[in-house]
Amino acid sequence: MDDRPIDVRIRPRLVLGVVLSLAAVFVASTFVVQLLEWRSPSRTGSLALKLVHVGSEQSLATLFATTLLLGAGALLAVIAWRKQVDRRRDRWYWTLLAVAFLALAIDEFGSWHELLVDPVRDRLEISGGLLYFAWVVPAIVAVALFALAFVPFLRRLPARTRWGFLLAGGVFVGGAVGVEMLGGAYATTHGYDSVGYLVLTCVEEGLEMVGAGLFIATLLAHLPRAGLGRWSLQVTDPAADSPSAGPASGRAVGRSGDRAAGSAERDAVR
């Protein structure tokens, strides 16, 4: 039996390229299918639109965006776990980021933030303009407070990671909040069923996907600095550990153990 390890190399730039390509496919599909549906409405077109539209709940595009946020949250959780084990200074910052991205993923799939629109709109007496989608008001406050709280954390990050975080966050928030505000102002004067609003929707969702992809690529590049650049997976045979396997099995386990020990020694040297 060949016990040589299989090395799988993950290249952040390649991952980012895949994310950007898929984001472009979903955005382009949304634009084209929506235009075709407006020109010649059909049941097939309506179903296709629900399947690919970047602004529809539980579409493939939304599932993809949710997966990106979950992926970022998982990477943050792994880094946070390592920081907690090592009792590092910034361990709670990483933990809070992981929780925040889990919440973002849940919100992305269910659009729970839209529940804030009517209460905030009524409270502030908003009837149109940039704040028409009124959930952006508490979102701006939350982002500002979050950013201020994380200034010390960002300063302690390696320069490449810090600028990657800032770029990804700027792109994501610029799409989710900035372009959303433009969309609200446009919708109040031109309506939702217009090419202009469709363009703004595609730009908004596209920027969110790009921002999430940039963040994932930055996290992947940061893993070696966090002591997580090399991962090991070992699968054992339950039959080899069974008492009924007999002496022969015991010798097999011993040889396997020797090989594992030798591999561990080689890894330690590396």
Question: pLDDT tens digit string along 170-204?
Answer: 999 999 999 999 999 999 999 999 999 999 999 99
Return the SS3 of 198. Answer: helix
Distance, CA of 213 to CA of 122 (rounded, Å):
36
Can you give the residue ranges of every domain in the chain? Answer: 12-226
Question: Tokens at residue 22, please?
Answer: 């898929």
Mean predicted confidence (pLDDT) in 113-139: 93
Who has greater pLDDT, 35 or 268? 35
pLDDT at site 235: 66
Distances from the Cα of 177 to the Cαs of 24, 85, 126, 139, 240, in angstroms? 20, 36, 17, 8, 57
pTM to 2 decimal places: 0.82
Residue 137: pLDDT band with limits 50, 70, 90: very high
pLDDT at site 251: 40
Distance, CA of 188 to CA of 82 (rounded, Å):
48
